[in-house]
Amino acid sequence: MAPRRDLSMLCTLLFFMVWLFFPVMAGALEPAEVLVVANSAAKGSVPLAELYMQRRSIPPSNLLVLNTGIQESCSRAQYAKQIASPLRRYLTGRTIQNPDIRCLVLMAGVPLKIRSSDENRNRRMRILQQEVKRLSEQLNNKDFQKGSGTNTIKEAIGKVRSEMAALQALTDQAAVDSELALVKAESYPLEGWVPNPFFYGFRQKNFTLVGKDQVLMVSRLDGPSPETVKRVIRDSLAAEVGGLKGKAYFDARWKMPVKRPQSGYALYDYSIHQAATFIHSSALMPVVVDSTDSLFEKGQCPDAALYCGWYSLGRYVDSFAWQQGAVGYHIASSECTTLRDEKSSVWCKMMLEKGVAATIGPVYEPYVQAFPLPEVFFTFLADGYLTLAECYLLSLPYLSWQMVLVGDPLYRPFNRRQ
């Protein structure tokens, strides 16, 4: 583990790396740079927006009230007419005396995801997603694991995922949040993903699809109920006062390899280990790492403040007693397909219901390489200079895709600017 002095030097280096490679983000996000977006058609959306703006001292003029559908999904046409167009008009209509908007906060009631234009493809994708879920549950069944057939199930999952990949390659479905990150861009392909020019892993590459000045940070304050959203706002502010306390839990599936993998599940498993190593070296809190195939079991994680792990598809495991202000995410497909469905056990919805203040997940199949890289996200978060939204943007590989950040974008659980 790195000594404390080396860690301090690393933190300083990271800060100047952000300043050098991402000059648009050289100063941490301020309340006046945040635009709050609510939906007048959804009961409670505007009052929640006003509450959040009051608590964070966001100027009253930084509120945009849309009138859009109240379902969690919308069509491409609805998105363009009811969400993107009025937002562009607002942004272009701001006077030069007002600070530029750098971040959007979508309140509960604003649609979560954009459906594909191809309904036949949508139906087939839903069938395949259910098949992956069924096979994954069978694979994770402890009684099944005692017998044979594990490899056969893994091969079947692989075949289903290959078909899903072919369908997904040219899809225009996306998270509303991820699409709005590029609402300022004049033109970009809707099919597939767009490389994020702010992603720390792309810092030595040159992307021409979109410029950094065309990218907005996007977060949402949403959840199973208005009370959940109020609690997230309250907990984020409270945790900033004394700093986030508790334990960090990292659930890898394999031992730390000697060499850094280049891609796929192996890279993300390695990145979970790297995140754990940094948090341990920071001395912010105790760290627990599980590097076996099994998940943390029910009730095994008291005082949970930070979490990253994988893989339980659409089936939250009640392992955690979440601390006030807790931040974490689970790397698995479609864990943010809904934030409201009472019957759903997807991780984002359940983590919010159980007490986290911030989480991340995809609304559709994202592929593992689209998740925020754990070592980047948790390193910048623990460093304390940048806000939650900035840590997310620096760690996120792709835009116009499936990922959603749920939480207060101004939240800094390890605040270094007080």
The phi and psi torsions of 213 (rounded to 5 degrees) equal -70, -10
pTM score, two decimals?
Answer: 0.85
Note whether 200 and 383 are within 8 A (CB).
Answer: no
In what helix (H) or strand (E) does residue 406 lie, and over which residues does it extend? strand 403-406
Q: State the average pLDDT over residues 350-379.
A: 96
pLDDT one-digit tens code per residue, 16-25: 455 444 544 5
Half-sphere exposure of 408 (CA within 13 A, CB side): 31
Q: Can you tell me the distance from the alpha carbon of 227 to that of 284, in angstroms, rounded to the nearest whole number? A: 30
Q: Can you tell me the distance from the alpha carbon of 167 to that of 161, in angstroms, rounded to the nearest whole number? A: 10
38: which strand partners?
A: 65
Can you say whether residue 176 is alpha, beta or left, with left for phi > 0 and alpha for psi between -120 and 50 degrees? alpha
pLDDT one-digit tens code per residue, 27-78: 689 999 999 999 999 999 999 999 999 999 999 999 999 999 999 999 999 9
Give me 375's structure tokens.
């070592």
pLDDT one-digit tens code per residue, 281-326: 999 999 999 999 899 999 999 999 999 999 999 999 999 999 999 9
- DSSP letters along 211-261, please? -GGG--EEEEE--SSHHHHHHHHHHHHHHHHH---SEEEEE-SSPPPSS--
Residue whose C-alpha is closest to residue 73's, from 321, 337, 256: 337
Q: Can you tell me the distance from the alpha carbon of 54 to that of 36, in angstroms, rounded to the nearest whole number? A: 11
